[in-house]
Structure 1
Amino acid sequence: MKKIDKLVLDAIIGPFLITFLVVVFILLNVNMLKYFDDIIGKGLDYWTLGQLFFHFAVFTVPTAMPLAVLLSSLIAFGNLGEHFELTAIKASGVSLVRVLRPIFFFVLVLTAFAFYANNDLVPKSALEAYSLLYDIKQKKPALDLREGAFYNGINDISIKVNKKFPDGITLKDVIVYDHRKNDGNKEVTIADSGRMQTILNERYLKFELFNGFNYTEGASNEREVVGQKRNRNSETLSRSKFAKTQVVFDLSSFQMDRTDKKWFQSNRIMRNLGQLDGDIDSIRREILNQRLNHYLYRPSYFSYYLRKDTTIMPLEVYKHKLYRDSINSLPYRDKMHPQGEQQPPLPAKVIEQPPAKTEKPATTTEQPSTTATAKIEKKVTEKPAAVKKDTAPPTAFKKLDRPRALEHVRKRPIKKPAVKQETRKTESTVKPVLPAKKLPMTDSAFRAKVDSVFKIEPAAEVWQGAANTARQVKSQVQNANGSIDNYATELRIFEIQWHKIFASSFACIAMFLIGAPLGAIIKRGGLGVPFLVSILFFIVYYVLTMQGEKLAKQGNLSIIAGVWMADILLFITGLFFLRQARVDARLFEADFYSVIVDKIKRWFTQKKQRNQSQPV
């Protein structure tokens, strides 16, 4: 490694580590302020809080990494330019691109690490952080008795303390209402003083009460045993005095129960690239299923209207239909052809043609016709070509040699069709009844009959049934379209997250191309001007990213354009700053702009003089 490379790397590594930690700390505080009310007052231990903060800190890495690269490169090259080290390097014949080369490789390593963090670390940390935060929200607040107020945190128990001493244990004037029987305030304990402490690993709360009374209100025991109806006169009141008593309450509801993480891992921010690919494929298949079902159920929408009308499916829907049919037939195919059995070859596609019309041969009662005998002989003698030699026949028949089979077929008698014998009757006894000859209906009569049918006024039930059918069809179509739209929106969300893993990593390179040349142009080190410039560009990057994702989610912009818009614009801006830095442009000096203004004024003055000098 050359000395110039070591000089440049030493100038950026230190500021990068410091700025990265500072940015992560700032973003962590911003995120945790949103959940401040859910965390405070829950009595969480330091281990739980440490886990929560650590996972949320890892979750902020995709946002903190580009900002840290921008700020550190601005500080590094600003310091080199402020101390004229960059000027000396250029004077020695080393170009700015050569100075940026070691930092560029360092940024490539950071980009690879950012991609690893976005794809592996961030999904796991997001799953841990949000599942733990959900459990913290479900946890009850810690036991906190306040003076002069009822505490109802324990299930079916109300406790009031008039005075609580600084040690947090000693109490004065204690009142306890027991509502565990769900019959009102019929069990009350009043004590002059007491002590409160948790036992058995804070699973139970123990009260030691001194100098008090226990009041119990209820019906007499005899009436409760007999089952008589209670009345006001049958109520009893018992009071017992005690010098010291102990009351134990269960605090299991105050413990934090961890929920299974499988209920949270379906969120897009908790998925890596491989899982997102599977989710995207599943959503696309579900959209095709919805569209295919719409085409398949269309004939059932109406009973008569366009029932025989044919609709051509789109190509992607038809391919999905073939795929789904093949998947559904797999279990039956396995049953028809078990493992180890050779499956017969699939038959070739044959175009069915109608059989040619042939005259029926005259049959005789003695022997079968020549045509029938020839067909039978052909069936017996012909060897099937579709069946392979090594495959067994589907059914086991007794094999006969060919001559015996033909002889058996020829000698087989043919059954004569049974002829129904009708008893002949003389014409004198029975006179046949001829059916009435039906006259053909003319076209005008047929049209008149049809018109008469259509002119019949339909009943109210027919109108109501048609309206109900139309409403049902409309509701089904709207539900199908709504379901497809929801799946399409969810598909866009998962595709945005897939591209976002790459885009947030590539943002490190775009920020480096802005920060390093801009620092060489500004020539100001420290945290003043670089911090303001970095915040300005980061706000632009954040606004463009949010707006692009919003437009892509709504479908007004393509997924690639919406997610990569900020990176591409900042990359082009970085190339512009790099070109200006190579030619030593003074973009942030007042003299540069004053010269431009003077040139514009001089051009207007010359144009005015030229117009006045021309003859009228």
Structure 2
Amino acid sequence: MKILDRYILTSFLSTFATVFVILFFIFILQGIWLFIADLAGKDLDSYLIIKFLTFYSPTVVPLVLPLSVLLASIMTFGNFAENYEFAAMKSSGISLRRAMHSLTIFILGLSFVAFLFANNIIPQAQFKFINLRKSIVQQKPSMAIAEGQFSTVGNHTIKVAEKYGDNDNLLRDVTIHKLSNLGVGTNVVIKAKRGELISTENSNFLQLILFDGNYYEDVPVKNYAEKNKVPFAKSAFKKYIINFDLAPLQKTDMDADQIANTNNMLNINELRYTLDSLEINHKKDIISYTENMKQRYVSFYAQPTKYSRKDTTVAEKVKKNGNVKDLITILQPNQKSSVYDIAKANIANTKFSIEGSKFELEGKIKNINNHWLALYDKFVIAYACLLMFFIGAPIGAIIRKGGLGLPIVFAMVVFIVYHFINVFGKKLAQEDAITPFFGAWMSSIILTPVAILLTYRATNDIGLVNMDVILQPILKLFKKRSSEQN
């Protein structure tokens, strides 16, 4: 390796390492705020919190790594241009393309490492992260309920005055509000002097046992006048058991699709195997539904009606009357209204069946698209590192500014555009508006010409925007008008 290549690579690596560490901890802090409800006030030891964040941290790498490459490229090449180091290189016959040679090789290697990381480390970390959250809830069921405040668990809100015991699973002065079936307001209130939380390692349910309490329920009425009487039911109990599903406790607002599905826990081979099964099942469902609808109509129209039992079937009437364009014309007047009612009911049932099947099939298509997106994302992160380098390096050489000022502005603008297009494309792909391939690669496809243009302009010493192209036509227009006036 030549001295110049070593110098450029060392400068980039030092900047890249610093930027990556800073951005990594910023995103980790953001994750802490997202999971603060799971960590704060749960009596978790330091080891468990560190383990929690360790399993979460690989999921932020797909965001941190391309942004770090982009910012480090702008800062490094901006410093070279600002300190006239590029001018010295060019005077020695070394072009910008030659100066980028060593870093291009490094970025290619980094892209390959990013692909391996996305294919092997992130799925394992995601799997362990979700299972750790589940095991924490199972081992420490008191996590589900905070002391001295209302905590939402399923369709219940629970407040306890005090938690005690070895695992804080014993409760004192328990108040529970149960949401109504409509999801608005509460119609059941339960108060108990004592309570106990029980959960086993292999169970998906959290059990709350209440002792010595009362049960209050507002009785729903149909008549508004009776509602003014405020009817309610009250009962006392010595022991009352409530079971909670742990699934809602394991979900978060961030990446709800990732936690609800398993596509982010699979590598490429596992995704391909799963996709084959999902697509085969989807095709079988379509064929099965089509055959069921066909058999329904064949059996319905093949059987004789209550009118044709006394006479002849519709098919026999058609044979008898020849080619009949409108079958209703061969029926008796007293039969037509009944036939219309039967047809109307049949159409309504068919419409209901189609809408239900459509909703189910759309859910399966969305699941298939999510798996395709997870497959393509493993390649997108590798290409994103290369793309951000060929955007950042030319921008740094053009703007000729290093440090943390202007480079951060350009880096954030580029990355926000990239991230917005990426999210937009994935949403469209999930809803089957576009193919998953185009949805996953949309941001890369749009920004690749930008990277090529910036690299061309930087290597040919053309500014970011050639103002002469914009100003010259305007100046010519003014000169032409002034000459005409004279």
TM-score (norm 1): 0.55
CA shift at 1:567, angstroms? 1.2
CA shift at 1:305, angstroms? 5.8
Find the residue that maps to 2:334 and give its secondary structure: coil
Instruction: Give the AA of the match of 1:608.
Output: R
CA shift at 1:575, angstroms? 1.4
Match of 2:453 among 562, 576, 589: 576
CA RMSD of aligned residues (A): 3.7
Between 276-285 and 453-462, the greater mean CA deviation after superposition: 453-462
Q: Find out whether 1:545 has 2:422 as its counterpart.
A: yes
Q: Find out whether 1:605 has 2:439 as its counterpart.
A: no
Instruction: Give the AA of the match of 1:90.
Output: K
Using the alignment, how far apart are the partners of 1:74 and 1:120 within structure 2? 30
CA shift at 1:453, angstroms? 9.5
Check conservation: 1:38, 1:137, Cα contact below 8 A: no
1:66-85 to 2 correspondences below 5 Å: 66-85=66-85
Instruction: Give the AA of the match of 2:274.
Output: D
Using the alignment, how far apart are the partners of 2:107 and 2:300 within structure 1? 67
Instruction: Give the AA of the match of 1:284.
Output: E
Match of 2:286 among 278, 286, 291: 291
Using the alignment, how far apart are the partners of 2:4 and 2:34 within structure 1? 46
Q: Find out whether 1:556 has 2:429 as its counterpart.
A: no
2:103 maps to what in 1? 103
Using the alignment, how far apart are the partners of 1:181 and 1:30 within structure 2? 37
1:212 maps to what in 2? none
1:58-207 to 2 correspondences below 5 Å: 58-136=58-136, 139-141=141-143, 150-151=161-162, 158=172, 182-183=211-212
Residues 507, 182 of structure 1: CA spacing in aligned structure 2 closer, same or farther, 3 A cutoff?
closer
Using the alignment, how far apart are the partners of 1:574 and 1:184 within structure 2? 68
Per-residue CA deviations over 1:433-456 (Å, capped at 9, x if unaligned) read xxxxxxxxxx9xx88xxx999427
Check conservation: 1:38, 1:136, Cα contact below 8 A: no
Using the alignment, how far apart are the partners of 1:95 and 1:182 within structure 2? 81
Find the residue that maps to 1:94 and give its secondary structure: coil
Check conservation: 1:152, 1:159, Cα contact below 8 A: no
Residues 184, 602 of structure 1: CA spacing in aligned structure 2 closer, same or farther, 3 A cutoff?
closer
1:272 maps to what in 2? 267
2:462 maps to what in 1? 585
2:381 maps to what in 1? 504
CA shift at 1:157, angstroms? 5.1
CA shift at 1:562, angstroms? 2.1
Check conservation: 2:422, 2:439, Cα contact below 8 A: yes
1:467-546 to 2 correspondences below 5 Å: 469-546=346-423
TM-score (norm 2): 0.69
Find the residue that maps to 1:55 and give its secondary structure: helix
Find the residue that maps to 1:140 and give its secondary structure: helix
1:326 maps to what in 2? none
Residues 305, 25 of structure 1: CA spacing in aligned structure 2 closer, same or farther, 3 A cutoff?
same
Check conservation: 1:25, 1:57, Cα contact below 8 A: no
Residues 462, 182 of structure 1: CA spacing in aligned structure 2 closer, same or farther, 3 A cutoff?
farther
Find the residue that maps to 1:93 and give its secondary structure: coil
Using the alignment, how far apart are the partners of 1:585 and 1:461 within structure 2? 81
Q: Find out whether 1:567 has 2:444 as its counterpart.
A: yes
Check conservation: 1:39, 1:137, Cα contact below 8 A: no
Instruction: Give the AA of the match of 2:68.
Output: A
Instruction: Give the AA of the match of 1:107.
Output: I
1:168 maps to what in 2? none
Using the alignment, how far apart are the partners of 2:148 and 2:470 within structure 1? 73
Check conservation: 1:127, 1:265, Cα contact below 8 A: no
Using the alignment, how far apart are the partners of 1:465 and 1:484 within structure 2? 28
Using the alignment, how far apart are the partners of 1:61 and 1:554 within structure 2? 26
CA shift at 1:555, angstroms? 2.4
CA shift at 1:531, angstroms? 1.5
2:7 maps to what in 1? 7
CA shift at 1:115, angstroms? 0.4
1:138-537 to 2 correspondences below 5 Å: 139-141=141-143, 150-151=161-162, 158=172, 182-183=211-212, 267-302=262-297, 454-455=331-332, 457-458=334-335, 469-537=346-414
2:308 maps to what in 1? none
Find the residue that maps to 2:371 and give its secondary structure: helix
Find the residue that maps to 2:172 and give its secondary structure: strand
Using the alignment, how far apart are the partners of 1:531 and 1:553 within structure 2? 32
Using the alignment, how far apart are the partners of 1:598 and 1:150 within structure 2? 73
Using the alignment, how far apart are the partners of 1:542 and 1:304 within structure 2? 54
CA shift at 1:576, angstroms? 1.2
Find the residue that maps to 2:402 and give its secondary structure: coil
Per-residue CA deviations over 1:541-573 (Å, capped at 9, x if unaligned) read 111111111122222223222221211222211
CA shift at 1:475, angstroms? 3.4
Check conservation: 2:81, 2:87, Cα contact below 8 A: yes
2:35 maps to what in 1? 35
CA shift at 1:19, angstroms? 0.8
Residues 512, 134 of structure 1: CA spacing in aligned structure 2 closer, same or farther, 3 A cutoff?
same
CA shift at 1:301, angstroms? 0.9
CA shift at 1:479, angstroms? 3.0
2:206 maps to what in 1? none
Q: Find out whether 1:54 has 2:40 as its counterpart.
A: no
Task: For structure 1, list consecutive stretches of 5 or more residues without a partner in the other structure.
Answer: 161-175, 186-257, 309-442
Residues 265, 306 of structure 1: CA spacing in aligned structure 2 closer, same or farther, 3 A cutoff?
same
2:24 maps to what in 1? 24
Using the alignment, how far apart are the partners of 1:556 and 1:178 within structure 2? 54
Using the alignment, how far apart are the partners of 2:210 and 2:278 within structure 1? 51
Per-residue CA deviations over 1:53-101 (Å, capped at 9, x if unaligned) read 1121111111111011111111111121122111111110111111100
Find the residue that maps to 1:524 and give its secondary structure: coil
Task: For structure 2, list consecutive stretches of 5 or more residues without a partner in the other structure.
Answer: 150-159, 175-191, 196-208, 215-248, 251-258, 304-316, 322-327
Instruction: Give the AA of the match of 2:400.
Output: K
Using the alignment, how far apart are the partners of 1:178 and 1:74 within structure 2? 62
Residues 568, 453 of structure 1: CA spacing in aligned structure 2 closer, same or farther, 3 A cutoff?
closer
Instruction: Give the AA of the match of 1:91.
Output: S
Using the alignment, how far apart are the partners of 1:463 and 1:576 within structure 2? 67
In terms of fraction of residues, the more helix-rich structure is 2
CA shift at 1:464, angstroms? 7.0
Using the alignment, how far apart are the partners of 2:479 and 2:333 within structure 1? 94
Q: Return the index of the structure with the highest Cα Rg.
A: 1
Find the residue that maps to 2:394 and give its secondary structure: helix
